[in-house]
Amino acid sequence: MLMLLGMTRTGFYPGSFDPITFGHLDIIARSARVVDKLVIGIGTHEGKVPLLSAEKRVALVQAAVQPIAEHAGLKTDVVTFNGLAVDAAKKAHARVIIRGLRDASDFDYEVQMAQMNGSLAPDIETVFLAASPATRMIASSLVKQIARMGGDTSLFLPEIAQEAVKQALRT
């Protein structure tokens, strides 16, 4: 763990987490090498209609992250936010925003976002973590499409998220 003058290094990992995937969990686990505490921010933007409610996503993230956090010695918190991620990071007292990158198109978008966030909050750095080869292809939107068509999502989602998606699609 990195400690600076006895202070906890806090990171902020924003996303929709609709649902939480093995890709998200990979980034969270590897964040433990960079920060001591990770605040996972679940975006609840009015323009998006999620499959899972914010409350359900919070519960799923908390449950899925707990064993990883315990194993890695990572303190975690799960919050919701509906504004700018950089403002939510400030509110969480984060000095780092964690972003996962799957491919070059993610990189182009994320670099632009990091530059904008750097202009809005120069004291917060953005750290990019490349997706591991096993999780590179996972995107929540594609996983939801597979689930809607009756496909097997077990390669992409933890069991609790699979069940939550199935239940949400039945209602």
Catalytic residue among 48, 105, 119, 141: 48
Please report, to the nearest 10 degrees, the dihedral formed by the alpha carbons of residues 116, 119, 125, 128 taken in order. Answer: 20
Q: Is 102 a catalytic residue?
A: yes
Catalytic residue among 16, 37, 140, 144: 140
Type and span of the H or E element at 81: strand 75-81
The encoded tokens of residue 30 equal 């590897």
Q: Is 48 a catalytic residue?
A: yes
The encoded tokens of residue 63 equal 């449950």
Question: What one-letter code names the amino acid at 67?
Answer: P
The verdict on whether omega for the bond into residue 19 sits within 30 degrees of 0, i.e. cis, is yes
Helix axes 140-148, 159-170, angle to 10 degrees: 50
Q: Is 71 a catalytic residue?
A: no
Catalytic residue among 56, 75, 102, 136: 102
**CA-based end-to-end distance of the chain:** 44
Q: Is 140 a catalytic residue?
A: yes
Catalytic residue among 24, 57, 95, 144: 24
Q: Annotated catalytic sites, by residue?
A: 24, 48, 102, 140
